[in-house]
Amino acid sequence: MKRTALFVIGVALLSAQALSAHHSFAAEFDRNSPVTLTGSVTRVDWGNPHIWVFLDVKDDTGKVSNWGVEGGAPNALFRNGWRKDSLKVGDTVTVEGFKSKDGLPRANANRVTLPDGRRVFAGSSSGDR
């Protein structure tokens, strides 16, 4: 199961790169604004068309902002072995993704990594919504 999930994440990441012309992505997020966020999960919204993970992120000055990051489609994630509680409130994660264009603390998550290196979810905007 885990090997399949890892394979699928590899697939999803590559798809996201190959489909850079995905229009929903381009309308919302800026591929020229990559961002890496590390913080504590405050909420997981498991719903269509994409899941959203919220996390408290502390900047260099110690100020905490609550970021929302868009993940994959819940049905696809479920089929790939992930569950609604695969990521829990309080988990520390590192998100690599792209900032939204609207200036809000929002990003499209390309990778979500736990402290031990395991990856969770991902697969966002790799195709139609």
List residues binding other proteins (CB under 8 A).
1, 3-15, 18-19, 21-24, 26-28, 45, 47-52, 68, 70, 73, 75-76, 78-81, 100-102, 104, 106, 123, 126-129
CA distances to 1, 20, 37, 82, 115 from 53, rounded to whole Å, are: 23, 22, 12, 14, 16
Residue 91 C-beta: closest distance to other proteins, Å: 20
For residue 122, what are the β-bridge partners?
A: none
The distance of closest approach from Cβ of residue 12 to other proteins in the complex, given in angstroms and rounded to an integer, is 6
The two tokens of residue 98 are: 């792209």
Four-residue CA torsion sign, 42, 87, 70, 106: positive
**CB 61, min distance to other proteins, A:** 26
Closest CA to 111 of 93, 89, 86: 93
Instruction: Report in angstroms how near the CB of residue 22 gets to other proteins at its nearest.
Output: 6
Nearer to other proteins, 58 or 65 (CB): 65
Which residue's CB is nearer to other proteins, number 61 or number 75?
75
